[in-house]
Amino acid sequence: MHKILPLMLSVMSATVFGAETELESCLALADTERLACYDEKVKAAQKRRLQAERQEPAIATMNTGESQDPQQNTGAEAALIPVATILQSLWELDDSDKRGTFRVRTYQPNFILPVHYSSSINRQPQSPTRSGAEFQDNYKDIEAKLQVSLRAKVLEDFLLPNADLWFAYTQTSMWQLWNSEDSAPFRSTDYQPEVVYVIPTLDYLHKLPFGWSMQMLQLGFVHQSNGQSEPLSRSWNRVYAAAAFEREQVGFQIKLNKRITESPSEDDNPDLTSYLGTTELQLNWLPGRSTASLTRKMSWRDFSRGSWQLDLTYPINKQQPDGLRLHLQLFSGYAETLLDYNHRQNSIGLGVMLFNF
């Protein structure tokens, strides 16, 4: 410990001296440029401070010149990372987080759940305008669920300061993996291309009541369909507005959807929003190495419909939290897939989250 304190003090002194030197470099600029320079230097210093705070637990566990077995710390708690730090990095909300355009990153969780049990598998999907589907007697209650979701920034600093335009694509499939009688068909696949405009708001709404801050606004357009022919065809288009908030290790997002109307003859599912709802609330918690996410999709007119979904993950290797993670998913309600939008079921799935970058 007597060697650690001088090390920490020297780092702090170097940081303070470096910050003062950087601020002095702004003095020779004109008023407007000088203020922008100060703002940039302070933001950079704050980011370095956050990174240093996350490294302090590692410094505190250093031995005085002795080698340490990595296995000795497998039971130690991981350093808590604020949701704000993750959001700023994932969505590149600050100048220092920018990575440029057309670099592929993950979007929604990417996972495979080889064991996914439904309390009521949908053997004969139907809608008010699409009926007559064949009854699938051989469908099994246990299947597999897969999701792949990617995104890339197409425009950077677009229209507003630090605001970016992203393109995203998500594909979710229900696979009758254990159904050997029908040669393991894919029961349902949803395709979802999306355009998202992300506006950072931390500079304007940094301090909200009870320690909360607002990180960003999102405006988006989504097309979602299952790519099947009638009578199994399901699709809809929508626009949405979303806002993301955080408080330490807790994040909260609210999304409001507005369906784009279609002609009655082309509408595969005219009553979709009465089951799925138009509001999405999501609560995220990052207690160390674990992650927990609770999603509620609902309509303010009928609280008995919509859905609840709980996702829990934990790293398979504690030393690599960004690697493969065990993934437990619980679902209850309507519209786990588009084909099941008016079919109520409870389901549980177990598998792995593939990657996150």
Task: For residue 298, list its beta bridge partners.
Answer: 279
Tokens of 52: 């240093």
Q: Are 152 and 185 in contact (CB under 8 A)?
A: no
The three-state secondary structure class of 168 is strand
Is residue 127 among the annotated active site residues?
no
CA 88 from chain center: how many Å? 12
Active-site hit among 89, 96, 213, 223: 223
The CA–CA distances, whole Å, from 211 to 93, 248, 249, 281 equal 20, 8, 12, 20
Active-site hit among 225, 274, 299, 332: 225
Q: Are 249 and 82 in contact (CB under 8 A)?
A: yes
Is residue 89 among the annotated active site residues?
no
Q: Are 187 and 232 in contact (CB under 8 A)?
A: no
The angle that helices 4-24 and 31-60 make with each other, rounded to 10 degrees, is 170
Strands 325-333 and 302-315: antiparallel
By annotation, the residues acting in catalysis are: 223, 225
